[in-house]
Structure 1
């Protein structure tokens, strides 16, 4: 399989079977990606917004799940748009032969505007300089660029400020009349949709609706107007407009864990992260474990070595807190997570080198979930799955 830049990943595989190690044994670690679960999640999310088109957000290598296989599965399940953050991601989707509509939004001056125009990618304009660059790219390419205008409704990141929005939509309409661009979309992003009842939600919806009215007054007639991310799709039907943009929910992670877990929304986690024990040994009481000896054995015990660490995306913040299923029971990381490995204390339980350790998955077997890891590390489940590194092979099943 290729990465999102079209470069072959030596550890990535598309087979439904687990890859053998260099000696024909078990792999050190792997992330198993259940594409059937992803398709089911797309169906469940589409049912939440039956009147809206569906954009599958596959940025950041599909939140660590493998961009191209996940994009294909999402399209098979009824998505009609793909969402990428960077133009390089969007171009990689086209290079992989994926059709349909593709939107990208994170631009800097001098970006590959012309390449995206020529690849029929919808590009986001969030400032006057960006409109000027895409207009120049359209002239150079000799074809009309597909453009979506973004307003900053309150998030404070990308998007034009509301007081500059009327000027931008008028300028875009002028370029549209000249045949240089076609404004295909108008959009915004919530700041606190994952906090139900937050006062910013109504305020930002009002900003967006006013922006839509101003765009209409300028003569723009976009194909899609959109604002709903994962929490918006699940909990804010008034935000669905013409299109919804689920990201993390598509991968089976609840964006509002305070309201319910994945199953409460008809979702199933897509990624299961496992490793094979590299060492199992008995040690006496008073034995230090890992750097700094932050953990010392209380008595004679069995230590198991799990051969993944922060170079693989296991958070160092999980030191002493991260949950893992080993030998049929949940354990906690003993001592510090190192670059390539961490230790668990099995107490009186037995295990063998090569036995499976499950860091997270759907939870069917009593294993931790990505949300469990997020709570243990003081972060969000988005980060847990997205940070899993390239040297952990992705094995896609159901594809």
Structure 2
């Protein structure tokens, strides 16, 4: 009987900007702490390959399972989303579809802003976290390596990422397009994570505004940043309400798991533009209801000009050709990994038959040419195994069933790795 070391399917399940709005995506967002807890639970259940990706545009789990609901249940457990909500807005990819999805995502083809490569760094971090938790394997190592190679080539060999279009860049561009006197407006950036730093740098690069202030909960980080960016003023967190009252544009990039700007923080009646770059939303719904407040979230900020989009769309076929090359290389490795042990076992079984027959005829036939017999029968063995390799590579072939037949016919102790057709 064939020993199956792996009989699960590869799934990618999750929600993204394609079907879920910012509010729903916020519900399914998984904090770093909960990502670790999810991976630890998966490991305790014996799941041999799984990683979690949670960004402002998507939350996904990629892993091997008997059924996708195993992954869906874990996502709902460690987020604030329900199974019912997931069913309405979800994507579920299996085996080759899941692999294709990872390639498209990692090369910027599946980004909300076409060609946005921020996802590449986020994918690396997600995989690193899974590796630290001990939930990665050789399969994922090889797959992610091919995805990153394809991503690098698409970035270097196409214009898919022409122009800067990150959410932080879009926030500054929104301000420029919608405020006539944006250079003289008081701007307050709240939060100094990666997004906050990019926002400050984009403000410095694309505007001449000299009235930009920065507030961060950890003031030491803000002080260090302001020393290197002297055009920005450091403001104290305890003065948040007062600073908001004096500002015209509030850019929120705190990246918290709940609202950091609430109704009680708005103590002014003058016009206030709030750009919320965080996911889940860090500005409460009550703030948007205030007459003097215009609140813009990440979905609105992710829109780019038709002209830039048109240039990038022309590059899609080139990017897809690059993906195809690396995907084929991965599939070749996968095929080799799946049935090479079985082919080797078959070859060894045939060699045992060969040696037995040569020994038998050596006794029976006078002046038997053992060397010539070995050359001829070895060629037969090579041709037989080559035919089996061709058969197993055929997309219509059920690898498990074929190897079972091989085992029964040749009496070989054949086994496969990742025997399920991926």
TM-score (normalizing by structure 1)? 0.27
Q: Which has the higher strand share?
A: 1
Q: Which has the higher helix share?
A: 2
Larger radius of gyration: 2
